Amino acid sequence: MPDKAKKKKQPTKEALYRPEDKESFRELIMRKRAKLLEELGYLKETSETTLEEYSGDNSTYSFHMADQGTDAQEREKAFLFAHREGKFLAHLDRALERINDGTYGICAECGEPIAKARLEAVPHARMCVDCKTKLEEK
């Protein structure tokens, strides 16, 4: 009986990208990164705003417990958003590292090229659609 070695499927010609496409992916990632850093700056500003800053005579804020609770909730929400955005920033940074070391666009699971359409939609993708689907089904 012949050995049933796992056959790797060949990507379609449309799925592959040219090496010069890496620069366009780098630019896409850098744009997303710049937007993220801007959002993180805004979140930092808003989370540093405290009730004491609004406690002057002309303040429209009171020292009511409900107002303090709302302020605390808003700061917590800003922190959670910043945490999520920080994780996304790390994914983008790792994608830039993969571009620099020549492993960008190669599935970390099967070693096959990741489809260009997937990288355009999710430029920080580490896995092809098939491998990512299998991982999520586990």
Confidence (pLDDT) at 51: 43
130 in a structural domain: no
CATH classification of the domain holding 31: 1.20.120.910
- Mean pLDDT over each residue of the chain, to the nearest integer: 76
Residue 127 lies in a domain: no
Confirm whether 3 is domain-assigned.
no
Identify whether 99 is part of a domain. Answer: yes
Q: Under a CB-based contact definition with an 8 Å cutoff, are residues 105 and 119 in contact?
A: yes
Domain that holds residue 78: 21-52+61-104
Give domain status of residue 120, yes or no: no
Q: What is the pLDDT of residue 16?
A: 57
Name the more confident of 136 and 59: 136
Q: 35: phi > 0 → left, psi -120 to 50 → alpha, else beta; which?
A: alpha
Number of structural domains found in the chain: 1
Tally of CA atoms within 13 A in the half-sphere of 27 that contains its CB:
5
